[in-house]
Amino acid sequence: MEQLKDFTTIEQMEADTAKLKEMACAACAETWEDRKVNQTPQCKFGEEGICCKICSMGPCRITPKASRGICGADAHAIAGRNYLRMAAAGSAAHSDHGREIAHVLHKTSPDGSYHIRDEGKLLRLAAEWGVATEGRDIYDVAHEVAEVGLMEYGKPFGTLRFLSRATDERKQLWEELEIAPRAIDREVATSMHMTHMGNTADADALVRQSLRVGMADGWGGSMMGTEFTDILFGTPTVRATESNLGVLEKEMVNIIVHGHDPAFSEMVVVAAETKEMIDYARSKGAKGINIAGLCCTANEVTMRHGVRMAGNFLQQENALLTGAVEMICVDVQCIFPALGPLAECFHTKFVTTSPVARIPGSIYVKFETETAMAQATEIVRMAIDNYENRDQSKIFIPESKQGAVVGYPCEQIIKELDGVTNSHVDERGSYMPAIDAIKSGVLRGAVAMVGCNNPKVRPDYSHIEIMKELLRNDILIVATGCSAQAAAKAGLLSKEAKFLCGAGLRRVCELVGIPPVLHMGACVDISRMMLLVTDIAKDWGVKVTDLPIVGCAPEWMSEKAVAIANYVVATGIDTYLGIEPQVKGSSQMMELITEGTRKLTGAGYVINKDPHELVTAIIAGVEAKRAALGI
């Protein structure tokens, strides 16, 4: 008889952190927990979104005696502008990541560092975009597709090409509301223009533009990043891996890749696998080279290589505190500047590789597409040379780790489903088996778990508690980003997690052979979730807003999360948040992001800081959608 496996509890994770904190104290190293204490209490005006420092007449703050800033902007204008600027920054970051990947695609060549790994996906995208393929060299096609993609960032006329993938109902609604995004950069620039001193002060208009700039990310830059990454490095397939700090190896050279853009980390992984580098590591007394990932770079390389995951956002300092990391090599986004001074307390080399993320205390190696493999080899060599500098008295590697099954993009989910029923109706395949399971009640619905960690709440607690409760209630989970990593650390990405599920979901997992939490990738891959939901709605013949499928970001923190939340809501998916958006100082803004958008797009935010109340609201939301569908 199958046994319930040992799942890592939040208390065990916290015990590991406490021990690592002791290592930090011994090394006189500061961590986010210390800085959080120093930052408490946090500024109430900032927290409520009612501090304006957009021009140098300010900063102006809204108080009981000052209901307007010097220019006359009220709380609603100030909070609305701040909110839109967050969404614009998030959209810019994700989309610039997508642009970098497009440039890599443009530089692919048969004898260069970067090749085409998924020709089928490239040819499908070429056909979608009207790029000729007949009789052409695949690299010529790739370069033209990359150029067409790059034009999406600045084209003077029209809306984004990927919008054609949406349901007819959404396309029409976006046109009617005038929130269909035009060129990606234009939506970011328009958002900055609208929020410049002396422009939009109307909260409703600011929220509408937030939806539009968010869509420029989710149906633009992020979707492009995902598609082009698949073409370059292969569309992910199911792989077995492991997660948590226990993946670090005592007797190997440990290199951590961290950030989001996989272009360089892919090369580091390949370089570390060469015989030359493995032999070199052995010549220095190590048993080999161990690459581990952090944050979304981890998600990218685990899905394509099975590279093990050291952890998520608030674990980045913990990784260095093990004293066993020879190098942390980062690209862009979610990288603590604190890694600079922290690395100096240990032997760890901190390597930055992008002009977008220059950080004091790091060794800067500017990654160039043309020389990527040679640079990656040098970086791996630098890490190996550093192995002998380990201080054995500073080493503590927690034992905690869990097995995980990763790599479920839409193509893989369809494949698993069709494998059970052979129901494919066209080239894409069909979601009908999943739809039938939902209609019959075997599955009650699905939740997209996404987003970061946030020191405002107990790290990973909300992610894990909410997921476990959803599983008990027969709700399938798809996960990305740091939420997926929280699931992995807790063992929820393993097939044995079926033992935590209700009878219906457990039966589905056994029949299809999947874990109940499906790892869909990094935070740019939330664009995959938009396509998943869109195609389910098409196969079912209902509107996206009708589906018993919602999103949840219980511990979000970044501006990218604000962009994401906006495109998820614009797509018609209710979004449950465990951290309050910083607009509480404006009653209008609070109403707009919860009920106001619901009147426009059919979806809005539900906000609750208590994870148990939040999951109760999610389940009630899913059941209400089922009741409305009459199932």
Interacting residue ranges for ligand MSK, rule: CB under 6 A: 260, 295-296, 312-313, 334, 451-452, 481-482, 522-523, 558, 560
State whether the Cα torsion 20-26-32-34 is positive or negative. Answer: positive
Q: What angle (nearest 5°) sits at the alpha carbon of residue 547, between those of residues 545 and 548?
A: 120
Find the shortest distance in angstroms from Cβ 136 to ligand MSK: 36
Q: Output DSSP code: residue 361.
A: T
User: Rg of the chain over CA atoms, in angstroms?
Assistant: 24
Comparing CB distances to ligand MSK, the nearer of 319 and 536 is: 319
Find the shortest distance in angstroms from Cβ 185 to ligand MSK: 21
Of the CA atoms within 13 Å of residue 4, those in its CB half-sphere come to 5
Find the shortest distance in angstroms from Cβ 484 to ligand MSK: 9
Comparing CB distances to ligand MSK, the nearer of 182 and 560 is: 560
**CA–CA separation, 275 and 39 (whole Å):** 48
Comparing CB distances to ligand MSK, the nearer of 380 and 553 is: 553
Comparing CB distances to ligand MSK, the nearer of 145 and 452 is: 452
What are residue 239's phi and psi, to 5 degrees?
Answer: -140, 150
**CA–CA separation, 271 and 256 (whole Å):** 14
Find the shortest distance in angstroms from Cβ 454 to ligand MSK: 9
Comparing CB distances to ligand MSK, the nearer of 334 and 606 is: 334
Q: What torsion do the CA atoms of 120, 126, 132, 137 make, to the nearest 10 degrees?
A: -50
Comparing CB distances to ligand MSK, the nearer of 309 and 614 is: 309
Kindly state the tokens that stand for 593. 């992001």
Task: Tell me which amino acid residue 271 is.
Answer: A
Find the shortest distance in angstroms from Cβ 273 to ligand MSK: 25
Find the shortest distance in angstroms from Cβ 277 to ligand MSK: 27
Task: List, in order, residues 6 or more apart from 463 with CB less than 8 Å away.
Answer: 449, 482, 483, 486, 487, 554, 555
User: Alpha helices of 178-240 — where are they, by DSSP H?
Assistant: 184-194, 203-216, 222-233
State whether the Cα torsion 294-298-302-306 is positive or negative. Answer: negative
Task: Tell me which amino acid residue 372 is.
Answer: A
Of 489, 257, 472, nearest to 376 by C-alpha is 257
Find the shortest distance in angstroms from Cβ 556 to ligand MSK: 7
Comparing CB distances to ligand MSK, the nearer of 482 and 500 is: 482
Comparing CB distances to ligand MSK, the nearer of 296 and 592 is: 296
Which residue do the tokens 């650390």 mark?
A: 489
Find the shortest distance in angstroms from Cβ 298 to ligand MSK: 9
